[in-house]
Every structure is written in structure tokens, then in C-alpha cells.
Structure 1
Amino acid sequence: MSLVKEPVISISGLWMKYSDKMVLRGIDLEVYPGQIIGYIGPNGAGKSTTVKIMLGLVEGYTGTVQIFGRDISDGNTDYKKRIGYVPEVAELYDSLTAREYLGFIGELYGMKHTEAEDKAKRLMGLLNLEQAYDMRISSYSKGMKQKVLLISSMLHNPDILFLDEPLSGLDANSVMVVKEIFASLAARGKTIFYSSHIMDVVEKISSRIILINGGDIVADGSFAELRERSREGSLEAIFNELTGFDRYRDIAGEFVEVIGEGDSGD
């Protein structure tokens, strides 16, 4: 007899209001170990708010949010030791070296400093950054900084990873490596919960895609399931259909027309 897995994230009746605008409208969601969740939607749909609530960064919501079976509103922050987070825009301590920064992050999660430094050095090497380990982060390219952020989120071996545009700034080879890392972590029972506006990436790496629009979940399933329901060929087309954004060709055409105004063609 197989055991039914308990959800690592359980959200029930989640409502959130900023000033006079309702951002989340009764979100119900359960996420299980080993799932790679692509959480997508237009800007302002409520994606970041949902994630920040789960991280304990936003209060004032109504409803229930449980992580690892415990209500996060009880004041106990121990669950945070078991999660990793990469925001879309992160402020790194640029004056530190990667050794110093990652050692510091590791200690925040309860790792011994020497253990964190050693582990970070090996992970940096695997992402072709070993030579930059003792260089100041201020000298890094965007892609190098993104790799350091990804390492910092996984250094302590978390059970849930929350990631916003995790592949931002990475070259093609690094994207392949990071996608494989996510798949391997999921195979070990880790949960990846990420947001991205790059639909082909979401389509390829997600085991489950959740589309939120106007504070409501309007689609939830694998890419194959979403495609079957909408009869569209790509996730981008499904996204446009479900969010009602069908003027992109018209807007692009008008944009190009404006660019060309005043051009005599001589």
C-alpha cells in the first residue's frame, strides 16, 4: 500500500488587499514534494505577493498558509531554515568576496563557517566560478552574480526553493546545467516553486504550471494538460488566451509604425 504524500505547502482561502486593491482573491493551493511549479501570470497578477506571504515577508492577509504542515502565522520561523529564496532583484554585498558572502549566508542558516566555505567553493567550481571565489562581487558580471545567488539559495540543502526568474543573465550552457540541477533536486523530493516570464523555459522544466490572473488561479496542470484544455500549441499562446491578452500583434505593428514615422525612405 503506497503512502499518500503530505503537501509541503497548503494554502486555503488566501486573500490579500493593498490599499483599495484586492491582489489575491481566495487562492487555494497544495504543493507536494518533488514538484517543479511554474507560477506564472501577468505583472500585478499576485505572483510575488503569494511568494512573499509564504516567505513571511508580508502580513495582513486573510486565510491559511501552512508550510511543512505548520501554520506560518504562529510566529515560529523554524520553517525558514528549510527554504531557499532567490528574488528577481537581489542586493548582494558587492564589497564582499564570494567566499565571504557565501560563508556568511551559510552561517545564517546554521552551517559551520568552514563547512559553508568548503561547500561553496566546490559549488562555485562546478559552475565555472572557482577562479572568482576570492574576487569581490562588485567585479562580477550579471550572470556570475546570478550563479552566486543560486548557490546561496541551495547551500544549506533546503526542502523548498522559491525562485523569481532564476535563469536571468545565465548563458546557454549554464541554463542547461541549472535546469538539470532543478530536475535532480525534484527527483530527490525537493520542491521548486518559481516564477518566470520566459514561457518556453516554464514549458520545458515545470512538472506543474499554475497560471494566476487578477488574483485568481485560472489554470493548474502539466503543460500537456493545459494544452489539451485550451487546444493551443504553446504555453505562450495558452497564457495569452487565458489572460485575455490578444492585442500583442496589433500593438507591435503600431509600435513599428510609430518608429517609422517621418522616414522618407531616401
Structure 2
Amino acid sequence: MCPPPAIAIENLTKRYGDAVAVTDLDLTVDSGEVFGFLGPNGAGKTSTIRILTTLTEPTSGSARVAGHSVTDRASVVEHIGVLPEEPPLYEELTGREQLEYIAGLRGYEDWDRVESLLERFDLADDADRRVGTYSKGMKQKVGLVQALLHEPEVLFLDEPTSGLDPRAARTVRDTISEVAAADTTVFLSTHILPVVEELADTVGVLYDGDLVAEGTPADLTADVEAGSTLEDVFLDVTSERGQPAER
């Protein structure tokens, strides 16, 4: 018997007044899959992620994450890790205090794992400095550690390599591969298309609130022309419809 999908979206719509951010979206992401969620600025990606992570409610339609309706916030939050584009950090805390605080909120007490992740992301020597003194890349790494530390079933990553040097970005890509191999589902949103091409099992392109392409990277590139990249696919499926407004 196949396990239920990690993410199941049906007829999902999100409106802000007269503006429609997401239109009748249907999408299924299987357990253990890395799903690359692409789209230009204003396509509706952030609205979709905010719904899936219970930060906002859909106008209509439904979505389930880890088997729970997104309207049941407490149940969904227990099973997910989230790295938004701007990590939610307290700048007056040290890096270690930040992670201990988040761990405490989740009732998580595996301090060896916290220390292991600090080492992995080259943060151990700076863990007792205030977050406010960190560079953008260091803040990004702390945000990723706090998303990973409780070993979530579904991991939402929005621009996870933003601000990172090449070595740290490689560590992030390796970590995504490892957690996916351990059956964590990764919902990856980024404008860095080679990262998606390297890591994603399936890719979906959102444009002006609509899902305009979906498939494996190999299938999508084969549909364009020989030698095409995911960037070519992205430009092809979005250029047909004009540039959407920012939202």
C-alpha cells in the first residue's frame, strides 16, 4: 500500500481583495520527494508556501500537509520545518540560545544533534555570539539549522542558499539530498535553477497563480529541445504569458 502524499492540494485559491494570487491549484508531492517550486516574482509562490505552512488561510480549496489539513495549524506545525526567505531570528540572542529556544518550543532536547548541526554548518565557533552580529549567510545557516533540528517530515525551504558562499551552499545541497534520502519531503523554492536541476525529483512552475508546467527535470527539458536546461524550460513556459504583476 502506497503511503499518502506528503502534500496534497486541491482547487486551492488565494485572493487578497480583488487580486488573485493563486488560482485553483492542484498539486501532489509524494513522501520523500524533493519538489522544486519555481516561478517569477509575483507568481504566487510565497502565498502558496504561506498557506502550506499555516501562516495564512486559503480563500477556497483545500491542502493537506503530512496528512493534516492546513486549517489544523497545531497538527501541521508539529510535522514541518520552515526556512522562509528571511529567517525568523532574535538578534539579541546568541546563535546557540536561538536554537535552544526553538528546540524548547518544540519540546526537543537532542542537544547532541544541535551541536552536530552547528558543526556541519560551520557555526560552532560563533554559536555564542549574538545573532545581530552575524552576516546574512550566517543568519541563513542558523535559520536552516532550526528548520532541520527536529527532523521534520516535510521541509519547506525558500531560497536556502541565499547569501551563502560556495562551500556553505554545497553543504546545504548535500544536506537536502541526505534528508530526502531519509524520506523527508523537501519543498524547495529558489531562483537558482541549477540547484533545482541537481536536486529535484519533480519540478512545478507557477505563473500568475497557475501551475503551467510540472514534471521531472529530464522530462521538462526533453519537451523543449535537445540540450535544453531547466532555465530554458522556465523561460519558455513563462514567456508565453507576459510578465505578471508583483504580489
Aligned to 1:147: 141
Deviations 1:219-259 (A, max 9, x none): 111110001112261111111110017999xxxxxxxxxxx
Aligned to 1:235: 230
Equivalent residue of 1:158, what SS? coil
| 1:76, distance to aligned residue in structure 2 (A) | 5.2
Counterparts of residues 17-166 of structure 1 (less than 5 Å): 17-73=15-71, 75=72, 77-112=74-109, 115-116=110-111, 118-166=112-160
Equivalent residue of 1:77, what SS? helix
* 1:67/1:99 CA distance change after superposition, 3 Å: same
Larger Rg computed on CA atoms = 1
Counterparts of residues 167-206 of structure 1 (less than 5 Å): 167-206=161-200
- Say whether the 8 Å CA contact 1:10–1:67 is kept in structure 2: yes
- Count matched residues: 242
Q: What amino acid is aligned across from residue 236 of structure 1 in structure 2?
A: E
Equivalent residue of 1:39, what SS? strand
- Say whether the 8 Å CA contact 2:13–2:58 is kept in structure 1: no
Aligned to 2:7: 9
* TM-score in terms of structure 2 length: 0.92
Aligned to 1:244: 239
Structure 2 unmatched runs, 5+: none
Equivalent residue of 1:150, what SS? helix
- Say whether the 8 Å CA contact 1:10–1:29 is kept in structure 2: yes
Equivalent residue of 1:17, what SS? strand
Q: What amino acid is aligned across from residue 79 of structure 1 in structure 2?
A: V
Q: What amino acid is aligned across from residue 8 of structure 1 in structure 2?
A: A
Deviations 1:94-129 (A, max 9, x none): 1111111100001111213xx34x432221112222
* 1:106/1:222 CA distance change after superposition, 3 Å: same
- Say whether the 8 Å CA contact 1:102–1:120 is kept in structure 2: yes
* TM-score in terms of structure 1 length: 0.86
Between the aligned residues of both structures, percent identity stands at: 36
* 1:45/1:76 CA distance change after superposition, 3 Å: closer
